[in-house]
Chain A
């Protein structure tokens, strides 16, 4: 392992020397962010090689308007909210699912759990809060297929599913962006395939390297990015060998296409992204919570002073935010990046907050 680390570090040093300026690599996935902090990778990087935590945490990119919608449904009294864990603590306009004592909120690990809840509680409507990227969307599609097949009447989905590629394109289209390359998410790439990043390489000339979540994978992914930057090339490379195929998981992609269609939904910090959010297709409207309850996404109201949006775009670091560590902590989160364990602010707080003065 030591040899591999040293080889990677040589590539990083060479790139820093060659470019003679700081290098900004954005990790797009929240699991990468956590791995980077949990394994103490940042302090091992050469000075001038910066990691930016991008919009890859599903909770963090979920717009406040969506959270308010969830809270509105929770307040109805005739719904059971079935959600993945991290969502329960995201504050909306009026508290969070965790602090809303009237809401019937069940943390589920899978869409199967949500369907089971619907079976167990025929008198209530189970609303599955469907967030996440291409990794979780196929499972939601399967659940809807299952519910349709069984003609389940008390199950529906509030979809906030997001697509990674449009977000990356939006970031690069921003004139002031400082992103030199992307460390691309391992799990998402299993589904969408490494070929999905070709447009980014071709259109914007930025290296895209897919890596797994083991610390060596992350380090070698960054090293591969540095190799490309030093040579002035931009390619799609996957070092997540044997796991990510160029074409991805075709079955899962077909499943997504069958049930979902992209529309211009809101992302926190990034605003409306063209074709960046998924909703159920018209023929499955009866499983769409928005259609069923006749509700609409309320225009977002970001908490005053919260800089999660800039953090998600790599324009600010969590410590740049005046609320970080004071008003905004994991116990009393203001913005979503502090709520989710995979959020950049929570990771900074948990793992990077205070580092010893001299190594």
Chain B
């Protein structure tokens, strides 16, 4: 539905929430209508000769460029690697395109590129193509990076395969990246700085897919956080989801920062977290693979797909005190509260 309320693009239109979903549905999908794009998956399957190649792209415009636990270079590699990884692929190659603002310090560029190269090498992905543009002062904020990537399919994942009783696993603590960046941006310091979870997930996802059958679907919980991903899964699978608050892995300082600013950690971005939906009988084996892996030490089973089904499927949480509440799709731009 095109609404007349928003005559111009708002920041919230890029926030990964409802507003962005509307923008994509109203403005983008109708113009490029094709079956592959329509699915809005993290990576698209493209048939090249006899091979099925997974293909994806992502842009990175983060502020600050350097944050505790990462920087825009690492993020640009990990983000695209993760989109391929959660689609059931082994990432093979990336392109890397830079838009740099005139006057950007060469030393910072060195650090960003070193970091990107290191991240790519660490997961065995080659950067095989690239582009460099410089724009005049003010036309970009320091540096923007776009990466695209291809991967080899190792598993066929789809929300269509999801059944009632399937369990939901997350590979670790939630909201770390968003709160690290936000607390740094807002100058809120803690004794131990909050670290972003920025990481390339393919070593973990490949390990799980190789060891366990019954993985139905995976998605990385970036913008919009775990709340957005769970709502997307519920909507696509047309099934309700129930999660348990006490099972959600949370870092205490991250929770404290979120409480200070009035945020719900479920809505906050991650850059190294994957939500997996698996057949119940595969859950324990998958959890074991995760907890034995450095990218999944705090992994936990956080919920399950319910019997009830329908087009208006919802996500509900059993709270720590035994209450229940709905987990909604976030709006898109989380605003700190006043007092």
Type the 1/0 row for B247-287, where 1 means its CB is closer than 8 Å to any CB of A: 00000000000010110100000000000000000000000
In angstroms, Cα B22 to Cα A5, docked, is 42
Given the known inter-chain contacts A40-B321, A85-B336, please indicate yes or no for A109 contacting B186, CB distance below 8 A.
yes
Whether A107 and B326, one on each chain, are in contact in the complex, defined by CB atoms closer than 8 angstroms, is no
Does any Cβ of A come within 8 Å of B322's Cβ?
Answer: yes
In angstroms, Cα B261 to Cα A187, docked, is 14
Interface size class of A (residues with CB under 8 A): 35 or more
Whether A38 and B326, one on each chain, are in contact in the complex, defined by CB atoms closer than 8 angstroms, is no
Tell me, rounded to whole Å, the shortest Cβ–Cβ distance linking B308 to chain A. Answer: 8
Whether A136 and B338, one on each chain, are in contact in the complex, defined by CB atoms closer than 8 angstroms, is yes
List chain B residues, Cβ under 8 A from A332: 3, 5
Within 8 A of B (CB), among A287-335: 330-332
Does any Cβ of A come within 8 Å of B324's Cβ?
Answer: yes
Tell me, rounded to whole Å, the shortest Cβ–Cβ distance linking A121 to chain B. Answer: 16
Within 8 A of B (CB), among A108-154: 109, 131-133, 135-136
Whether B324 and A355, one on each chain, are in contact in the complex, defined by CB atoms closer than 8 angstroms, is yes
Whether A219 and B262, one on each chain, are in contact in the complex, defined by CB atoms closer than 8 angstroms, is no
Given the known inter-chain contacts A34-B262, A101-B8, A109-B336, please indicate yes or no for A39 contacting B320, CB distance below 8 A.
yes
Give the residue name and chain of the A residue nearest to B335 (CB). A85
Type the 1/0 row for A321-358, where 1 means its CB is closer than 8 Å to any CB of B: 00000000011100000001110000001111111100
How many residues on B have C-beta within 8 angstroms of the other chain's C-beta atoms? 40
Whether B320 and A84, one on each chain, are in contact in the complex, defined by CB atoms closer than 8 angstroms, is no
In angstroms, Cα B320 to Cα A216, docked, is 10
Does any Cβ of B come within 8 Å of A207's Cβ?
Answer: no
Give the residue name and chain of the B residue nearest to A29 (CB). B339
Contact of B10 among A31, A42, A98 (CB under 8 A): A98
List chain B residues, Cβ under 8 A from A98: 10, 12
Whether A99 and B10, one on each chain, are in contact in the complex, defined by CB atoms closer than 8 angstroms, is yes
Whether B339 and A132, one on each chain, are in contact in the complex, defined by CB atoms closer than 8 angstroms, is yes
Give the residue name and chain of the B residue nearest to A351 (CB). B325
Whether B335 and A86, one on each chain, are in contact in the complex, defined by CB atoms closer than 8 angstroms, is yes
Does any Cβ of B come within 8 Å of A193's Cβ?
Answer: no
In angstroms, Cα B321 to Cα A5, docked, is 8
Whether B3 and A136, one on each chain, are in contact in the complex, defined by CB atoms closer than 8 angstroms, is no
Does any Cβ of A come within 8 Å of B31's Cβ?
Answer: no
Q: Among the interface residues A37, A58, A99, A330, which one has the most CB atoms of the partner chain B within 10 A?
A: A330
Whether B323 and A40, one on each chain, are in contact in the complex, defined by CB atoms closer than 8 angstroms, is yes
Whether A39 and B325, one on each chain, are in contact in the complex, defined by CB atoms closer than 8 angstroms, is yes
Give the residue name and chain of the A residue nearest to B331 (CB). A330
Given the known inter-chain contacts A350-B326, A356-B324, please indicate yes or no for A58 contacting B335, CB distance below 8 A.
no
Tell me, rounded to whole Å, the shortest Cβ–Cβ distance linking B56 to chain A. Answer: 27
Q: Among the interface residues B316, B323, B331, B339, which one has the most CB atoms of the partner chain A within 10 A?
A: B339
Given the known inter-chain contacts A40-B317, A98-B10, A356-B316, please indicate yes or no for A86 contacting B325, CB distance below 8 A.
no
Within 8 A of A (CB), among B11-26: 12, 18-19, 22
In angstroms, Cα B188 to Cα A109, docked, is 10
Within 8 A of B (CB), among A22-37: 30-31, 34, 37
List chain B residues, Cβ under 8 A from A356: 240, 308, 316, 324
Main secondary structure of the interface of B (DSSP, over half): loop
Whether A349 and B328, one on each chain, are in contact in the complex, defined by CB atoms closer than 8 angstroms, is yes
Within 8 A of A (CB), among B26-60: none
List chain B residues, Cβ under 8 A from A350: 326, 328
Does any Cβ of B come within 8 Å of A192's Cβ?
Answer: no
Whether B321 and A354, one on each chain, are in contact in the complex, defined by CB atoms closer than 8 angstroms, is no
List chain A residues, Cβ under 8 A from B262: 31, 34, 341-342
Give the residue name and chain of the A residue nearest to B10 (CB). A98
Contact of B325 among A30, A133, A352 (CB under 8 A): A352
Whether A351 and B326, one on each chain, are in contact in the complex, defined by CB atoms closer than 8 angstroms, is yes
In angstroms, Cα B336 to Cα A188, docked, is 18
Whether A86 and B338, one on each chain, are in contact in the complex, defined by CB atoms closer than 8 angstroms, is yes
Does any Cβ of A come within 8 Å of B314's Cβ?
Answer: yes
A to B CB contacts below 8 Å, 16 in the list: A30-B337, A31-B337, A31-B339, A40-B321, A40-B322, A84-B337, A86-B337, A99-B8, A109-B186, A132-B339, A219-B321, A331-B331, A342-B337, A350-B326, A352-B325, A356-B316
Give the 8 A-B residue pairs with the shortest CB-CB distance, closest first.
Answer: A40-B323, A85-B335, A40-B319, A135-B339, A40-B325, A84-B338, A351-B325, A332-B5
Other A-B pairs, 15, CB within 8 Å; known A40-B322, A136-B339: A31-B262, A38-B319, A39-B321, A39-B323, A40-B325, A41-B323, A58-B338, A84-B337, A89-B335, A107-B335, A109-B336, A331-B19, A331-B331, A350-B326, A359-B324
A interface list, Cβ under 8 A from B: 1, 5, 30-31, 34, 37-44, 58-59, 84-89, 98-99, 101, 107, 109, 131-133, 135-136, 187-188, 213, 215-216, 219, 330-332, 340-342, 349-356, 359
